Structure 1
Amino acid sequence: MTDFTPLTSFAGGILIGVAAVALMAVHGRIAGINGILSGVLTARFDRDWAWRAAFLGGMVASPLVIVALTDRLPEIEIPSSPALLVVGGFLTGIGTTYGSGCTSGHGVCGMSRLSARSIAATVTFMATTAVTVFVTRHIFGA
């Protein structure tokens, strides 16, 4: 069971939207984390690499802001084994490679630009998620 957190969820959504718009306005780039990460791992140490590293660094450092504001981190409970998390991460990586992007690139940025490819990808992500949750919770009982 997950907690209902409308205010923090709304604030998080606003921050994601602002980050996506700012990246597009400043650099003319889509805020797709898959593409940003692959660019850091494969790019030369140039200006393009620097904004990518800064974007990822901000994502990694953001919990420090939460600690500074609230004096604690939110409790996170993951009801899966480490092995399932590794398998899920691996499958997600394969999917984002074949899908030419991830939920941030397609779901946030692509859909806001009314990209047919991104709409199709996001519908596929969401349908697959619904089926996966149903199967794991109601058929396998995990």
Structure 2
Amino acid sequence: MNPEWIWGLIGGLLIGLGAAVYLLGNGRIMGASGILGALVDGSGKSEAKERLAFIAGVIVLPLLLKPLIAPQAETHLTSDLAVVVIAGLLVGVGTRIANGCTSGHGVCGISRFSLRGMVATVFYILAGGITLVLFRHVWGLI
């Protein structure tokens, strides 16, 4: 039996726990794009330390835990750096257009029964599926 689904389950539980702690701790939604966006555009100066701590935790904690928890885990990410950069930029543009990201709309929005979060989640999942079909199966780029 392939144990990869267990890692996905554990990751999902940790993301949900993080969202709940963030909401209970400061009364705000854990929307990663909003947290990072407010640092970039300067609108989050009053909470800059909190925002930087969150971003640092999102980046550093998995790097620290990987050798302990999943040293053999692999990623199926493309080795083409241009595809990774373009995909990242498109995700960033999409989060600004949707006024939120997967953590804000998908995790926090759906768990709060937010219609806006549910609609946004349906559309970004649909857009991701179409993008995958086009880039992998039609154009063969990834």
TM-score by length of 1: 0.87
User: Identity across aligned pairs (percent)?
Assistant: 36
Counterpart for residue 127 of structure 1:
126
Whole-angstrom distance in 1 between the partners of 2:91 and 2:28: 22
The offset of 1:71, in angstroms, is 8.2
Q: Secondary structure at the match of 1:78?
A: coil
Q: Deviation per CA, 1:75-124, whole angstroms, max 9, x where unpaired?
A: 33422521122111111111111110011100000111111111111000
Task: State the one-letter code of the partner of 2:95.
Answer: T
Indicate the larger mover: 120-129 or 35-44.
35-44
Whole-angstrom distance in 2 between the partners of 1:64 and 1:85: 23
Whole-angstrom distance in 2 between the partners of 1:116 and 1:139: 33
The offset of 1:32, in angstroms, is 0.6
Counterpart for residue 90 of structure 1:
89
Q: From the superposition, tell whether residues 73 and 58 of structure 1 become closer, same or farther in structure 2 (CA, over 3 Å).
A: farther
Whole-angstrom distance in 1 between the partners of 2:133 and 2:26: 40
Number of matched pairs: 137
Task: State the one-letter code of the partner of 2:36.
Answer: L
- Structure 2, unaligned runs of 5 or more: none
Whole-angstrom distance in 2 between the partners of 1:49 and 1:73: 35
Whole-angstrom distance in 2 between the partners of 1:60 and 1:120: 28
Matched, 1:49 2:53: no
Q: From the superposition, tell whether residues 94 and 70 of structure 1 become closer, same or farther in structure 2 (CA, over 3 Å).
A: closer
Whole-angstrom distance in 2 between the partners of 1:70 and 1:5: 13
Whole-angstrom distance in 1 between the partners of 2:97 and 2:140: 29
- Superposition pairs for residues 83-122 of structure 1, below 5 Å? 83-122=82-121
- Structure 1, unaligned runs of 5 or more: none
Matched, 1:140 2:135: no
Q: From the superposition, tell whether residues 73 and 64 of structure 1 become closer, same or farther in structure 2 (CA, over 3 Å).
A: farther
Whole-angstrom distance in 2 between the partners of 1:131 and 1:4: 28
Counterpart for residue 64 of structure 1:
64
Task: State the one-letter code of the partner of 1:59.
Answer: V
TM-score by length of 2: 0.87
Whole-angstrom distance in 1 between the partners of 2:128 and 2:60: 28
Question: Contact (CA 8 Å) 2:22, 2:30: kept in 1 or not?
Answer: yes
Counterpart for residue 15 of structure 1:
14
